[in-house]
Chain A
Amino acid sequence: MRGGRWQICTLNMQTINGKKQLLGLVCAVSLSLALLYAEYSGRKTNFGDAAAMGAATTSMFAVRGAYPIHCQPSEELELCIEGVQARGFQRKALWLGNSQLHAVNQFQVGERNAPDVLSDRLAEKSIDIITVSLGNGNMQEHLVLFNYLLDRIQLDTLILPVVFDDMREDGLRDGFPALSQNGGAAQRLKESDIGRKLLDKAHSLTQQPAGESTPQERSEAWLNAWLDEHIPLWRARSEMRGDVFISLYKMRNTIFGITPSSKRKIIPGRYTNNLAAYEAILQTAVTSGVRVFAYVAPIGSDRGERPYVESEYQRFKDDLAALTKRYGGDLQNFEDLIPEPLWGLKDSTTDTDMTELDFMHFTAAGHRVLAEQVAEKFFRAQASMTKPQQ
């Protein structure tokens, strides 16, 4: 086995002189950029959802007056918080969740999603609610968000769907490290093992180039802002990266025959972290005087069969029930809440143009069912439960 060097870089092209080599390279790089330009110039898509979930699924974020009442944890979050302060209700609730809360299948103009409907229902009883949802949001991210929002809003109730699929996710995405290090949030996070672990991770992430302390970071930030402003192709790079990953995801699914019906297994380390985060949320809620209304999220099924290993799914529900009971929370099982016709279809997750069953998102009618059910259980729980002692 003779080893070669990276001769691609050192090849002695005897019959091609250096100038031609240079010309060839310049042409190669230019061609590459030209192709990217041709593909992306003038394209206006919202990568966050349109590309990730497909055209059959629409993301909706409700607004009341000048303020959103439903957002993703981005710049909009601050507007959501301002809205709560502007409306000035005495009682305030927070609904955290994944894309199930903002995604509507086969959306028709005029339709509403669950957070929109629930907001009206709660407003009848003078309760303000904001919803923060993020695609595949894991429980550790919910823990950070909850702790962050506790500092900003005098919360009364937390509504928390728990999704088996999201227990397979891990870590914090961009923006979360900064949220976790925010004053009181950091203090509360320090009270649990998982919180400390997240803080350590956040600290190590913010120690890396993202900060603003070195000339390198400042110049990079300035240069990127300038390039974003003046070169559309540069601005489109995050979308391009998203497209690369989605293509890889689809290719993987096509090659390995992965469909929405494929069984998802528990990933032990991630599951333990997310369960610990769930416990930390309950713990924090008790000490902060926030009532928790948790529910096992609705899940579609292909001819009655869920895309989970049944024994693992059962274990998940048992673990949730045990923890919720320990901290005096309320856990409802909504897994079969949405009837089959209300689930709808989504774009294929493989390299085909077909649609396929969507196990996670439903139509607007499904959203209404969810909102009504949450409202009903919410009011019933309000009536029967006493607020936990601080």
Chain B
Amino acid sequence: MIFNSATYLVFFSLAVCLFWILPTRPRLWLIFLSSLVFYGFWRPVFVLLMLFSASIDFMAALKIEEHEQPARRKLWLMLSLGCNLALLFYFKYLLFFVDNAVAVARVFNHELPSPVMSIVLPLGISFYTFQTISYVVDVYRRLIPAERDFLLYGCFVTFFPQLVAGPILRGRELLNQLARRPTFSSEMFASGIRRIVLGLFLKVVVADNIGPLVDEGFDGRINEMSALDVLTLSFLFGFQIYFDFSAYSHIALGSASLMGISFPENFNFPYISRSPREFWQRWHISLSSWVRDYLYLPLIGAKVDDRSIGGLGAAAHETAVEGRHPMVALFFTWAIMGFWHGANWTFIFWGLYHATFILIYRLCMPLRIRLPNWLRNYVGWGVTLLLCMLSWIPFRARTIGDALDMYALLFDLHRYNFLGMRENSYLVASLLVAGFMLTWLANRTYFRLAAYSVRIAFALECGVVAVASGFVFVFLRPVSQFIYFQF
């Protein structure tokens, strides 16, 4: 089921009403069953796959806890990881490897038969797989006890607000909240409604209307594009994916709030970052902190955290133990981070682009160019914004060749003297940059206003909600899925 649909609003309203009426245990059944219905609205058969994957991890975690011998514990961990990764490999990466094997064989003049296969990617498989992996690893690391109640564990894996596109939560963050009976808080309820309205606004009014401009640009003929078109497209897609994904997170957080459950933030104005490190503390925080704790820090032998906050930037100052190679770990981590997003070289390229960006930043940091602080901030922001936006080109391009061709245009001076897209594209991109900065400034001003007069701030907030809900009413329709559903 997708959030930006009338179906979800009806389904969710019913679920919330029942949730607050029922006693604790039936509530868990409600969450579990409604989550299965939520997921089954896409393709019912994949509910079984999700339950199979979850059951293996449930059992593996119990076995890990049961055994004291490290070898046995490791065996069960490996079994769980193996099953999870095998499922992920089959559904998400098999075709990629087959295609590449055929292509490599062709280079060596061997014609392999190209198998005609069609594998449907189960919705949100990357998200729930990472969530269950984190659970089993946390049990293995003795950070949390294994959950003995399958119903509670099932709710943790399938909880519908975050099932298909995160945030990717840890056992410690969600299991306890699900287990206790939340007390109704009208503050939390009001906050949830605001978040849902805001999220729907960002999705159906903003992201969905940027989409056609982006699609047309990236599906167009690259040899007829100007350098300014490439820049504009990177900004347009950068904003589309931000509004789309952060909208999902807002609705997820809002929906959970209405059920008395708190999720950690997943986005925090990423495009105001002044460095790549800061960017990854603000963008898809739950994934970057997952990669930090289950991949990067173990690779360099540093201590890990057990919460999905802080993002990847929090690992920047961790020192590697002797014999480990942080640079290798950095590139490996980022290649995996890219590959997680999709089975295409474009995503690996995107990951390596960010690894290079972070490496350059780390190398430049000690130089400490003498600049006034305010100027350093603005230069840092400008450079980070530009490079982060340009990083979206391989992420969205059809092939790696297209991405490289688009980058090449940026270095051709003759490509700066014409415009190849409809005028509205440039206008919308400029408005988005200006609008984003104004929103950030307004947000800060709003704080000050709230400190001065809560009533005026609240009246303003109601005004914003009135306008936003009007637009949501007008534009609400599932014209497109959330971009991150495909990952």
Query: DSSP class of A's interface residues: helix, strand, loop or mixed?
Result: helix
Most chain B CB within 10 A, of A7, A36, A216, is at A216
Q: Is the CB of A3 within 8 A of B224?
A: no
How close is A307's CB to chain B, nearest CB, in angstroms? 14
**Cα–Cα, bound, A237→B470 (Å):** 11
Query: DSSP class of B's interface residues: helix, strand, loop or mixed?
Result: helix
Q: How large is the interface on A (under 10, 10 to 19, 20 to 34, 35 or more residues)?
A: 35 or more
Contact with A along B397-422 (1 / 0, CB 8 A): 00000000000000000000010111
How close is A275's CB to chain B, nearest CB, in angstroms? 12
Contact of B190 among A21, A209, A272 (CB under 8 A): A21
Interface size on B, residues (CB 8 A): 77
Q: Is the CB of A36 within 8 A of B473?
A: yes
**Cα–Cα, bound, A252→B418 (Å):** 21
Q: With A209-B478, A267-B420 given, is the CB distance from A8 to B443 under 8 Å?
A: yes
- When distances are taken between beta carbons in the complex, the residues of chain B under 8 Å from A3 are 268-269, 272-273, 282, 440
- When distances are taken between beta carbons in the complex, the residues of chain A under 8 Å from B466 are 28-29, 31-32
Among listed A12-20, A90-98, A124-132, A370-378, interface-contacting one:
A12-20
* B228 touches A (CB below 8 Å): no
- When distances are taken between beta carbons in the complex, the residues of chain A under 8 Å from B381 are 1
* B189 touches A (CB below 8 Å): yes
* A223 touches B (CB below 8 Å): yes
Within 8 A of B (CB), among A183-222: 197, 201, 208-209, 214-216, 219-220
How close is B202's CB to chain A, nearest CB, in angstroms? 10
Among listed B77-85, B172-180, B191-199, interface-contacting one:
B191-199
Q: With A21-B458, A269-B225 given, is the CB distance from A8 to B5 under 8 Å?
A: no
- When distances are taken between beta carbons in the complex, the residues of chain B under 8 Å from A224 are 6, 477
Among listed B111-119, B213-221, B313-321, B342-350, interface-contacting one:
B213-221
Among listed B40-48, B89-97, B324-332, B362-370, interface-contacting one:
B40-48
Q: With A9-B194, A18-B186 given, is the CB distance from A170 to B7 under 8 Å?
A: no
* B306 touches A (CB below 8 Å): no
Residue of B with least CB distance to A32: B470
Q: With A9-B191, A29-B469, A214-B42 given, is the CB distance from A223 to B6 under 8 Å?
A: yes
**Cα–Cα, bound, A360→B288 (Å):** 54
Among listed B130-138, B146-154, B387-395, B449-457, interface-contacting one:
B449-457
Residue of A with least CB distance to B217: A269
Residue of A with least CB distance to B421: A267
Contact of A25 among B10, B377, B462 (CB under 8 A): B462
- When distances are taken between beta carbons in the complex, the residues of chain B under 8 Å from A2 are 444
**Cα–Cα, bound, A33→B185 (Å):** 26
Q: Is the CB of B41 within 8 A of A219?
A: yes
Q: With A6-B250, A9-B250, A216-B41 given, is the CB distance from A269 to B224 under 8 Å?
A: yes
* B371 touches A (CB below 8 Å): no
Q: Can you name 17 A-B residue pairings with CB atoms under 8 Å? A: A1-B381, A7-B447, A8-B443, A11-B446, A13-B457, A15-B455, A21-B458, A22-B189, A24-B190, A171-B212, A209-B480, A216-B5, A216-B41, A220-B6, A240-B474, A241-B475, A269-B216
User: Which A residues lie at the B interface, using CB under 8 A?
Assistant: 1-11, 13-19, 21-22, 24-25, 27-29, 31-33, 35-36, 168, 170-171, 197, 201, 208-209, 214-216, 219-220, 223-224, 227, 237, 240-241, 244, 252, 267-270, 272
User: Which B residues lie at the A interface, using CB under 8 A?
Assistant: 1-2, 5-7, 10, 40-44, 185-191, 193-195, 197-198, 212, 216, 219-221, 224-225, 250, 253-254, 265, 268-269, 272-274, 282, 377-378, 381, 418, 420-422, 424, 427, 440, 443-444, 446-447, 450, 454-455, 457-458, 461-467, 469-471, 473-475, 477-481
The 8 A-B pairs of least Cβ separation, nearest first, read: A18-B186, A32-B470, A18-B187, A21-B190, A28-B466, A268-B224, A269-B220, A28-B462
